């Protein structure tokens, strides 16, 4: 009888661990590097091609020069392709389109981004 109890408990623990890992794997860590001359003040993320931008909390402005922050981006409901909208001090806004956050785990913003070449 005790053997059945322990087998059932082990199976229950295995299933709950698998569910927790599945929920945690429904996203990716993403590193955002700011190598521009401006401080980034806000970040919003949307599924690629949509206008449904949702703010992603950054605790303090990401200063320009060469600073970075790591974010957790969910991919469970809307896939891997994302549009990132970055707002800088002074009002400048850039949108980086079709970023595959499953394949590419970082974005490096440079001083040339958003300027005519």
Tens-place pLDDT, residues 20-34: 444 456 888 999 999
pLDDT at 17 over 60: no
> If 0-12 CB within 10 Å is exposed, 13-18 middle and 19+ buried, where does residue 16 land?
exposed
**Encoding tokens for residue 58?**
């950054």
pLDDT at 10 over 60: no
Average pLDDT of the residues in 54-70: 88
Residue whose token pair is 């703010």: 55
Domain 27-110 coded CATH 2.60.40: yes
pLDDT at 37 over 50: yes
- pTM for the model: 0.73
**Which positions ≥6 away from 18 have C-beta within 8 Å?**
none
Predicted confidence at residue 20, as pLDDT, reads 45
**Encoding tokens for residue 86?**
């970055």
């Amino acid at each position: 009888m005790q053997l059945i109890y322990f087998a059932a408990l082990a199976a229950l623990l295995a299933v709950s661990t698998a569910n927790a890992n599945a929920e945690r794997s429904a996203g990716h860590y993403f590193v955002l590097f700011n190598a521009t001359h401006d401080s980034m003040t806000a970040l919003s993320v949307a599924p690629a091609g949509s206008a449904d931008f949702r703010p992603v909390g950054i605790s303090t402005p990401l200063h320009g020069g060469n600073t970075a922050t790591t974010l957790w981006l969910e991919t469970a409901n809307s896939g891997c392709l994302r549009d990132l909208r970055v707002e800088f001090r002074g009002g400048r806004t850039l949108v980086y389109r079709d970023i595959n956050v499953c394949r590419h785990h970082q974005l490096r913003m440079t001083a040339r981004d958003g300027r005519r070449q």
